[in-house]
Amino acid sequence: MASSATGKPGAAAQVIPRGVGPKLCRTGDNLVIIDSHTHAWERWPYSPEVPDLEGRGRVEQLLWEMDRFKVDRAVIVCARIEHNPKNNDYVLECVRRYPTRLIQFADVDCSWTETYHTPGAAARLAEAAEKYQLKGFTHYLKSDTEWFETPEAEKFFQVAAEKRLIASLALSPLWMPALRKLARRFPTVPFLCHHMAGVKAAEPDPRPNMEEVLRSSEVPNIHIKMSGFHYVSSQAWEYPYSESAWVVRKLYEYYGPERLCWGSDYPVVRFSMTYQHALEAFRTHCGFIPEHDRTRILGGNLARLLMLPA
End-to-end CA distance of the chain, in Å?
Answer: 34
Domain boundaries defined on the chain: 17-306
Q: Quick one: pLDDT at residue 4? A: 34
Range list of β-strands (E), the chain = 34-38, 73-77, 102-107, 136-140, 166-170, 191-193, 222-226, 260-262
Return the DSSP state at 174: G
Q: Quick one: pLDDT at residue 2? A: 35
Q: Quick one: pLDDT at residue 249? A: 98
Q: Quick one: pLDDT at residue 5? A: 31
Angle at 167 between CA 164 and CA 173, to 5 degrees: 150
CA distance 146 to 153: 10
Q: Would you call 69 exposed, middle or buried from its count of C-beta atoms within 10 A (0-12, 13-18, 19+)?
A: middle
The neighbouring-strand residues paired with 31 are none
Q: Quick one: pLDDT at residue 31? A: 81
Q: Quick one: pLDDT at residue 29? A: 52
Q: Quick one: pLDDT at residue 9? A: 66
According to CATH, the topology of domain 17-306 is TIM Barrel (3.20.20)
For the entire predicted model, the pTM comes to: 0.93
Q: Quick one: pLDDT at residue 3? A: 33
Q: Quick one: pLDDT at residue 222? A: 98
The amino acid occupying position 244 is: S
Q: Quick one: pLDDT at residue 119? A: 98
Range list of β-strands (E), 171-297 = 191-193, 222-226, 260-262
Name the stretches of the chain with pLDDT < 70.
Answer: 1-18, 20-30, 310
Q: Quick one: pLDDT at residue 25? A: 53
Q: Quick one: pLDDT at residue 19? A: 72
